[in-house]
Amino acid sequence: MTDNISEKSILDKIKVTSDIRQLAEEDLDLLSAQVRQEMIESVSKTGGHLGAGLGVVELTVALHYVFNTPYDRLIFDVGHQSYPHKILTGRRNKMKTLRQEKGLSGFTKRAESEYDPFGAAHASTSISAALGMAVSADLKNEDRRAIAVIGDGAMTAGMAYEAMNNAGSMKLPLIVILNDNDMSIAPPVGAMSAYLSKLISSSSYRSLREVASQVAKRLPRPIANTARKAEEYARGIVTGGTLFEELGFYYIGPIDGHNIQHLIPVLKNIRDKREQGPILVHVVTQKGFGYSPAEESSDKFHGVSQFNIKTGTQNKSKNGAPSYTSVFSKELINIAKKDKKIVAITAAMPSGTGLDTFAEKFPDRFFDVGIAEQHAVTFAAGLAAEGMKPFATIYSTFLQRAYDQIIHDVAIQKLPVRFAIDRAGLVGADGPTHAGSFDIAYLANIPKIVLMAASDEEELKRMVLTAAKIDDRPSAFRYPRGESIGVTPSKITKPLTIGKGRIVKKGNRIAILSFGARLYESLKAAEILDNRGYSTSVADARFCKPLDTKLIKNLISNHDMLVTIEEGVVGGFGSHVMLYLSENDLLKINSNIQTIVFPDKFIEHAKPETMYKNANMDAESIVKRVMKFI
């Protein structure tokens, strides 16, 4: 450590990344330790994605030390691992606002900082974005580098390989840092690996390799083969980079991602040599590194609520009602016990979707396909084509990535794939990138699909059972994130009648028709309206497709106003109700129709109740909407 920097003040001196580059290399370990501690303290108060960030502290420090950020473009895939990056790029004092209303995003965000050149929250976009930036720099004759940091999990998605295949043919100075934190690709690394990585990233090695390649072409075949094999062996000691080299990338690694002395010389070598074309640097890290509760946790503290720093114990909700996710999982297990054709599919989210418990009961009928939603859907279609009963269990926001497969591979062929859509509606701290805002609109326009939305946990159980019995077409049911309502469990769960809603509360002036989880806010609104002298009916549509047209006709015919409400954008349930009324000339009976949908904007992260208030979907907002037009 240099004499003029105290142990306590080194992080205090970092306001922008150029300050990091003023430090001596021997100071970087201490800086990393202080960044790690700062991150743990901040996330303990806010919750968030902890484990991934802990694993890339040293890597992040090294990247900002070597590269000229923000002029050089540093792009983090997904963004779960970007908290150390935020601390080092002028946002340290805002870390305690992380994922809070009007605070820092839990992901990278262009509007938040010039150090975030590309926003991310979904996996496997970084290489494509970095390639676009590399091409732009080339076209504008700008001497800047584009660096993508992508995890081994995100490398399971086809988009990453599409980008690499494209980049490999361009010979631009694109840099990809493969952060392997699951040991799924590389063996353990050590001093020999670090030495060879430094060697093969150096200009002397490249020149020697190039000369050797030319010489080998002119040697007799046996000798030429020996020369090639010698080089391949030297590089094979490090690990097999054959796949990446076949895609046109120069492969270096693996390197210990927690050893700054190993990282710095390699990063400097690849920074200074631009004629090589795209380069992939394989870095091995440990998720949760440096914080024992995270290292010992099964998920390495991937996503946490507020927690006690000393023990790692996370704060738990006091409500006690089961989560919608656990209700779904439990019911799917119940019916799978009786039906051996039921299989469950997830795209790298076994615990998030509750299918980890299904996997424990039926390991041979559970499939985690990785971050590959397109494949998940077509894989499910193949299973359905052979008579199995697949439940493709995918977050609403991630199912967007497989829209063509839903239409082309499932719906056109009328295959009975069941889509269990978790995280429907607004999801709180993860913000607009994870909000399930679009699935009603993008599914309801598909011919013959059955589309349901659960208003509470008992309705969800019935929808799981209903979907299992639909064998002639695709079906989908959506449900929110978080705790359920806490209704009294029914003794017997029965499937629903397809296309049949229900009246929950009877009135005679106002009718509120809810599709999904706004039912209980609708009931609160009805109570307020009743107290103001406006007798209000509340109905649970259950189905967007097929619509319960008998119920809709009854409501519009016997009330002064009909209000529809759904947790989705325009083009969904309310639009289909209006189309039915228009096509059947029912608006002449009553044209006083209001549709409540999400506003035409992306709703920023906050507590869910605040987000719904901002979306005008709480009880008071429903009442205001009714009173405005009554």
Write the pLDDT tens digit of every residue in 306-324. 999 999 898 876 667 999 9
Give strand ranges (E) for 244-316: 250-256, 279-284
The one catalytic residue among 36, 91, 198, 401: 401
Tokens of 308: 């006690």
The one catalytic residue among 373, 521, 566, 567: 373
Give the model confidence (pLDDT) of 139-168 as tens digits: 999 999 999 999 988 888 889 999 999 999
Assess contact for 159 and 125: CB atoms under 8 A.
yes
The contacts of residue 1 (CB under 8 Å, 6+ apart) are 7, 24, 26, 27, 30
Query: Which residue(s) pair with 250 in the sheet?
Result: 279
Using alpha carbons, select from 279, 259, 262, 261 the residue that is nearest to residue 270: 279
d(CA 373, CA 73): 28
Query: Which residue(s) pair with 419 in the sheet?
Result: 392, 476
Architecture of domain 502-629: 3-Layer(aba) Sandwich (3.40)
d(CA 448, CA 473): 7
Checking if the pLDDT of 232 tops 60, the result is no
The contacts of residue 182 (CB under 8 Å, 6+ apart) are 152, 153, 287
pTM summary value: 0.89
d(CA 164, CA 169): 9
Give the model confidence (pLDDT) of 328-370 as tens digits: 999 999 999 999 999 999 999 999 999 999 999 999 999 999 9
Q: Which H or E run includes 452? A: strand 450-453
Please say if 145 is a catalytic residue: no
Q: Fold identical between 324-478 and 502-629? A: yes
Fold annotation for 324-478: Rossmann fold (3.40.50)
Give the model confidence (pLDDT) of 448-469 as tens digits: 999 999 999 999 999 999 999 9
Quickly tell me which residue has 């976009």 as its tokens: 125
Quickly tell me which residue has 């998940």 as its tokens: 376
| Domain ranges for the chain | 11-202+241-296, 324-478, 502-629
Checking if the pLDDT of 223 tops 70, the result is no
> What distance lies between CA 13 and its chain's CA centroid?
34
The contacts of residue 372 (CB under 8 Å, 6+ apart) are 156, 157, 158, 347, 348
**Least reliable range by pLDDT among 48-62, 204-218, 571-585:** 204-218
In this prediction, residue 214 carries a pLDDT of 55
d(CA 92, CA 518): 38
Quickly tell me which residue has 């009602």 as its tokens: 321
Please say if 228 is a catalytic residue: no
The one catalytic residue among 92, 271, 287, 461: 287
Assess contact for 419 and 473: CB atoms under 8 A.
no
Checking if the pLDDT of 521 tops 70, the result is yes
Quickly tell me which residue has 């000393």 as its tokens: 310
Please say if 373 is a catalytic residue: yes
Assess contact for 571 and 623: CB atoms under 8 A.
no
CATH assignment of 11-202+241-296?
Answer: 3.40.50.970
Query: Which residue(s) pair with 394 in the sheet?
Result: 421
